[in-house]
Amino acid sequence: MLVLTLAAVFVVLGSGMALAQKSTPAAGWSVTDCQGCHEKALGTSFQNTKHAKLDQSCAHCHVNVAEHAKAQMNGDKNAPSPALKNLTAAQVNEKCLSCHEKARQSNYMSSMHARRNVACTSCHSAHSAKSMKAQLKTAMDSDTCYTCHKSERAKAMRTSHHPVREGKMGCSSCHNPHDGGTPKMIQGESINELCYKCHTEKRGPFLFEHAPVREDCVSCHEPHGSNHKRLLLNKLPNLCWNCHLTGSGHFGSLDNLITEKGVPMAPVGAVTGYPTSGSRGVEKSCKNCHVNLHGSNAPSGAFFLR
C-alpha cells in the first residue's frame, strides 16, 4: 500500500513538473507576453517560423527583456532596449551561433563575412522572412547576396550565365555563406571539384590532359557570367592566345604579328596567298580543329584534335 501511494505521488509530481517545464519557457518572457506591444513583429509571419514553433521565449535571443518589460509597465523609457540592432555584429553572431551550428556555421568566424563584420541579421530575419527557407530578407538568396556583391550581379545579367536569374539555382548552390573553411566559401574542396558536381563529363581521367583545365576551371571560364559563349573569359581564339601566343608555324605567331603591326596587305616579297588579316578578322577559331579542349582519350589526341 505504501509503495503504491509513493508511486502515485511520484507520478503526480513528475507529470506536474513536466507540465510546468513545457508551459513555462526556460528563459522567461514568452511570445504571448511580448505580443501585446510587439504585435507586428510577432504576427502571423513569425508564428509560422521554426523559431516560434521550437522556442516560445523571446529572451533566448533578446537581452534585457525583463528590464525592458518592467520599465514599460512603470512608464520608464530609459530602460535598455532588447533590440538586436543595438548589438555589434560579433554579439549578434555569437547569439545565433549558440544554436545554429549544423550547416558548417561553426566555421563562420573564420569567413570573410565575419571578418568584415557582417551580422547574421544582415541577411536573415527571424520575424519577417521573405524566402521559403533559411528565413532570408529577400525571396531569393541571390537577391540577398547582390545587396553587397554588385559586380557579381552585373555579371549575372550578361548573355552567358548560370540559371540564377531563372531561379533554377542560387548563389548557395555553389557557395556556403557560413563556411570559412574553403576558398571563396565554395561548396567544394576546390573550384574544379565544385564544377564537376554538375559537369561530370569534364572530370576525366583523360589520357591527354589540358593543363589549365586540370589546374582551375576559372582559367578559361567566368562562373558568374560573361558576354562570350560558354562563360568564357575572352572570345576564341583570343582566349587561347593568352597562353599560346606563339604558334609553331600555324596561325598564332603569324596572325598575331600581322595584327600587332597593323599590316593592311601582304608585305613586300611575300608569297602568294600570304594572309593579310589575323584570325580575329576572319572568325577562325582554335576549336574548329582542337575540339576536345578539356582532354582527350584518343591515341592521336595529344593536340586535342579528337
Q: Over the stretch 229-275, which tens digit does the pLDDT of each residue have? A: 999 999 888 888 788 765 444 554 445 555 555 555 555 555 545 44
Ordered DSSP codes for 275-297: --S-HHHHT--GGGT---TTEE-
**Strand, helix or coil at 73?**
helix
Q: Is residue 128 in some structural domain? A: yes
pLDDT digits (tens, 9 = 90+) for 122-165: 999 888 888 888 889 999 999 999 999 999 999 999 999 999 99
Mean pLDDT of the chain: 77
Of 188-192, 195-199, 282-286, minimum mean pLDDT range: 282-286
Q: Is residue 42 in some structural domain? A: no
Q: Are residues 157 and 108 in the same domain?
A: yes
Integer Cα distance of 249 and 251 in angstroms: 7
Q: Per-residue pLDDT for 109 more than 70?
A: yes
Residue 156 φ then ψ, to 5°? -65, -20
Of 42-46, 141-145, 291-295, minimum mean pLDDT range: 42-46
Strands (DSSP E) found in 1-114 = none
Q: How confident is the model at residue 28 (pLDDT cuts 50, 70, 90)?
A: low
> Which pLDDT does position 294 carry in this prediction?
92
Residue 169 identity (one-letter amino acid): M
Q: Per-residue pLDDT for 108 more than 80?
A: yes
Length of the chain (residues): 306
Q: Are residues 126 and 169 in the same domain?
A: yes
Cα–Cα nearest to 297, from 202, 217, 220: 202
Average pLDDT of the segment spanning 167-179:
92
Last residue of a domain, one of 139, 157, 187: 187
> Which pLDDT does position 174 carry in this prediction?
95
CA–chain centroid gap for 70, Å, is 42
Last residue of a domain, one of 130, 152, 187: 187
Model's pTM, two decimal places? 0.72
Integer Cα distance of 244 and 230 in angstroms: 20
Q: Are residues 98 and 176 in the same domain?
A: yes
Q: Is residue 173 in some structural domain? A: yes
Q: Is residue 5 in some structural domain? A: no
Q: Are residues 99 and 150 in the same domain?
A: yes
Average pLDDT of the segment spanning 116-124:
91
Question: Which residues, 6+ apart, have CB-to-CB distance to 210 below 8 Å?
Answer: 293, 294, 295, 304
Average pLDDT of the segment spanning 97-107:
76
> Which pLDDT does position 245 carry in this prediction?
67
The more confidently predicted of residues 275 and 11 is: 275
> Which pLDDT does position 5 carry in this prediction?
42
Integer Cα distance of 110 and 120 in angstroms: 14
Torsion of CA 78, 83, 88, 89, to 10 degrees: 180
> Which pLDDT does position 258 carry in this prediction?
53
Residue 249: which domain range?
Answer: 202-263+277-296
Average pLDDT of the segment spanning 281-291:
71
Average pLDDT of the segment spanning 163-175:
93
Q: Domains in the chain: how many in total?
A: 2
Q: Are residues 212 and 292 in the same domain?
A: yes
Q: Is residue 61 in some structural domain? A: no
pLDDT digits (tens, 9 = 90+) for 194-217: 999 999 999 988 999 998 899 999
Indicate the pairing of strand 295-296 with strand 208-209: antiparallel
User: Considering the chain, what percentage of its residues have pLDDT values greater than 90?
Assistant: 28
Q: Are 240 and 246 in contact (CB under 8 A)?
A: no
What is the number of other CB atoms lying within 10 angstroms of the CB of residue 225? 19
> Which pLDDT does position 22 carry in this prediction?
37
